[in-house]
């Protein structure tokens, strides 16, 4: 029986053209958080990094652009893909963590909100189109989709534009090994209330752990000895994040599937936050183990981390956009496919969405 559900009707992304290869980091000296120089040769550090994370390259934003510019590019492409009049949008939600940070500066600019800048760039005059930002760590884009779905279900909105955009290259400490993980990018989706037989968002789950886990990602001075105490950069307790995520993310994914009434074996693709190749593979192994399943299909886990790194809120929507438009070899989406979005990040926060690709509308 047809019902009104939240459906993704368009997607778009912006991947910066500047490629930063691992070999470029082999010329860099690294220090510990205690300001001690790491004595291992940089090329060995880089090789070990690639073996652990799977990252070979990442993308950095050009100096004359900013996070809001990437968001605007991705938004335009998503709106065009949805064949939508921007004036009919009810909400514009932009997920990020640091706003605009001009190249070679340390100050975050979120005045006005990035969503307001996107609305202006799209030329939307409709005052009932509400534009706002959300801060939820790397799971921000998924959380924006969950919020849009809630507004649509409540009858408050019918068309929403949700964007994840971040320029982590502007907030990293180049003397910290973890800086090699991070990158820049933006992804956007249009969500609409549609009458469908059995498609759209089926269920979601969200968790926040903010006691021992609250400061697994934080701001701190550079690892370089003698660095300015007042200049802060993004820092991460990598081992703590990994241990937390591998335990809790599969549980949140399972909770989401149970709400949707979907067994794990029916999920065709998992679109996971691209933070660490082995960690994402671990999520799937643990999830299948929770269901008592031993055989894991080989084609269920599309990845972009090898070439694009970890662009925070942008990893999931850019990965989805690539697969949706046939830009990732061996991966494709068909009507009726059940997929899952899931992410984990600063807070610490976790979320997941179970989604069924809808059938195309009848002619």
Of 198, 229, 248, which closes a domain? 198
Confidence at residue 107, expressed as pLDDT on a 0 to 100 scale: 82
Rounded to the nearest 10 degrees, the angle between the axes of helix 277-290 and helix 238-260 is 40
Confidence at residue 221, expressed as pLDDT on a 0 to 100 scale: 93
Same domain? 189 vs 217: no
Q: What is the domain range of residue 237?
A: 201-356
Same domain? 68 vs 184: yes
pTM for the full model? 0.94
Confidence at residue 196, expressed as pLDDT on a 0 to 100 scale: 87
Of 129, 164, 198, which closes a domain? 198
Residue 263 lies in a domain: yes
Same domain? 131 vs 146: yes
Residue 361 lies in a domain: no
Same domain? 179 vs 206: no
Residue 89 lies in a domain: yes
- Residue 353, Cα to own-chain centre: how many angstroms? 13
Same domain? 179 vs 210: no
Mean of the per-residue pLDDT values of the chain: 94
β 232-236/217-221 pair status: antiparallel
Confidence at residue 363, expressed as pLDDT on a 0 to 100 scale: 47
Of 172, 198, 224, which closes a domain? 198
The string of DSSP codes covering 105-142 is ----B-SS-HHHHHHHHTT---TTSEEEEE--STTHHH
Same domain? 74 vs 218: no
Same domain? 194 vs 206: no
> Which portions of the chain are predicted below pLDDT 50?
363
Residue 363 lies in a domain: no
Confidence at residue 1, expressed as pLDDT on a 0 to 100 scale: 65
Confidence at residue 184, expressed as pLDDT on a 0 to 100 scale: 98
User: How many Å apart are CA 114 and CA 315, to the nearest integer?
Assistant: 18
Confidence at residue 209, expressed as pLDDT on a 0 to 100 scale: 97
Same domain? 314 vs 221: yes
Q: Among residues 344, 338, 334, 153, which one has the least CA distance to residue 236?
A: 344
Confidence at residue 361, expressed as pLDDT on a 0 to 100 scale: 60
Same domain? 65 vs 167: yes
User: How many Å apart are CA 295 and CA 229, to the nearest integer?
Assistant: 51
Same domain? 144 vs 191: yes
Residues 212-263 pLDDT 10s: 999 999 999 999 999 988 889 999 998 999 999 999 999 999 999 999 999 9
The number of distinct structural domains making up the chain is: 2
Confidence at residue 345, expressed as pLDDT on a 0 to 100 scale: 95
Confidence at residue 280, expressed as pLDDT on a 0 to 100 scale: 95
Residue 362 lies in a domain: no
Residue showing tokens 């938004």: 75
Cis ω on the peptide bond leading into residue 112 (within 30° of 0)?
A: yes
Same domain? 153 vs 266: no
CATH of the domain at 223: 3.40.47.10
Q: Among residues 141, 182, 171, 138, which one has the least CA distance to residue 348?
A: 138
Same domain? 259 vs 323: yes
User: How many Å apart are CA 358 and CA 335, to the nearest integer?
Assistant: 5
């Amino acid at each position: 029986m047809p019902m009104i559900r939240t459906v993704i009707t368009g997607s778009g992304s912006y991947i910066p053209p500047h490629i930063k290869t691992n070999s470029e980091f082999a010329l860099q000296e690294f220090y510990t958080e205690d300001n001690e120089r790491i004595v291992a040769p940089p090329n060995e550090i880089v090789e070990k990094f690639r073996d652990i994370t799977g990252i070979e390259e990442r993308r950095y934003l050009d100096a004359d652009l900013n996070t809001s510019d990437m968001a605007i590019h991705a938004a335009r492409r998503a709106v065009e893909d949805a064949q939508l009049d921007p004036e009919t949008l009810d909400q514009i939600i932009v997920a990020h963590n640091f706003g605009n940070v001009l190249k070679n500066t340390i100050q975050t600019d979120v005045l006005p909100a990035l969503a307001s800048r996107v609305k202006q760039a799209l030329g939307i005059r409709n005052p009932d189109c509400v534009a706002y930002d959300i801060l939820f760590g790397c799971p921000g884009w998924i959380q924006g989709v969950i919020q849009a779905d809630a507004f649509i279900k409540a009858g408050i909105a019918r068309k929403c534009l949700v964007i994840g955009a971040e320029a982590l290259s502007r907030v990293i400490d180049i003397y910290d090994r973890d800086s090699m993980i991070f990158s820049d990018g933006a992804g956007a989706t249009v969500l609409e209330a549609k009458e469908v037989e059995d498609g759209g968002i089926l269920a979601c789950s969200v968790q926040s752990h903010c006691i021992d886990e609250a400061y697994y990602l934080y701001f701190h001075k550079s690892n370089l000895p003698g660095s300015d105490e007042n200049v802060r950069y993004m820092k991460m307790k990598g081992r703590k994040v990994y241990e937390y995520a591998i335990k809790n993310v599969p549980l949140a994914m399972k909770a989401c599937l149970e709400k949707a009434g979907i067994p794990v074996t029916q999920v065709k693709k998992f679109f996971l936050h691209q933070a660490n190749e082995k960690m994402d593979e671990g999520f799937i192994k643990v999830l299948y183990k929770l269901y008592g399943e031993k055989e894991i299909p080989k084609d269920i886990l599309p990845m972009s981390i090898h070439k694009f790194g970890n662009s925070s809120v942008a990893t999931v929507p850019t990965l989805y956009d690539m697969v949706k438009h046939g830009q990732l070899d061996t991966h494709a989406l068909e009507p009726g496919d059940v997929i899952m979005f899931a992410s984990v990040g600063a807070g610490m926060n976790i979320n997941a969405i179970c989604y069924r690709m809808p059938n195309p509308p009848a002619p």
